[in-house]
Structure 1
């Protein structure tokens, strides 16, 4: 620092001295001709504006279709036919199967549905509720089987069903399946093992 102060005696601050040591780089400026033209024509996509409003309404949380920076799309539930697959691959752009981008959640039940379409989950719940209400009020009457209170003997005579032979009954009882005998319980006093004698060699010893 002392050498810099002696060398640049007229410079009062060290910062100005350092700026004097290093060479100055030329500034680069790029002017775009379309800047003035596009400055007055700022347009925003309606879908982005709608997404912004949804994020603001949900308290800053991103919608469910945006997960880890990626946009989730619907997955087909059934296998596409060959004609549909070929059409999706090789048909012209205006005839191809377009992806469904209007996937939202139902505000009532929370299940996934297409926007501006009826929620099938809510529709099924309403249908079952109305059907049970009609059944309760007597509008819908369940058909009663007239022979539901038959005697078991009469039912066996009226509906004899399949006749089983003696052989089929034996097979159903599974008496022909060989059963393995249960092993004897382990007893350490009745174990036979071999001991190696240093002089006699291998000797069998039976414990009582």
Structure 2
């Protein structure tokens, strides 16, 4: 008890000996501030808005706060403090496990001899099979069934598009479209 009193007395004596600085207040007038009358009306409106918001908050029983108090502080401080060095960035982006790996499972295709991955199809053979299937599909395509009709009936059933004289003229491009003349071929034997 006596020890605590002596410590408090010594602290009180030290605090009284420290010089106290006066508190400085500087008031700068704002030339852009609204005048007194509109300001009073604005404060009345603000009071009503504040009262409305307070009522809304009081009435909302299970309303959670929009932003938790501790979350915003952590987000504001979660920024990098220093620039990441070139070495660290390259190490992160170009690690050994992120680079191309050597393929040790390569074999030759038994049918064509091209190099392929083991336990997979040879892409050269696959392309050959695709081309064969395409040619067979083209050959097997049937022409659409065409009805044999009289010319009069055909004009009635399939009237088709009638071209105007201007469209007929535009379709004949050789008459109106000028093309650049082709250059003469150079024979190397004659030029020597």
Q: Which has the higher strand share?
A: 1
TM-score of the two chains, using structure 1 as the length reference: 0.26
Higher relative contact order (CA 8 A, sep 6+): 1
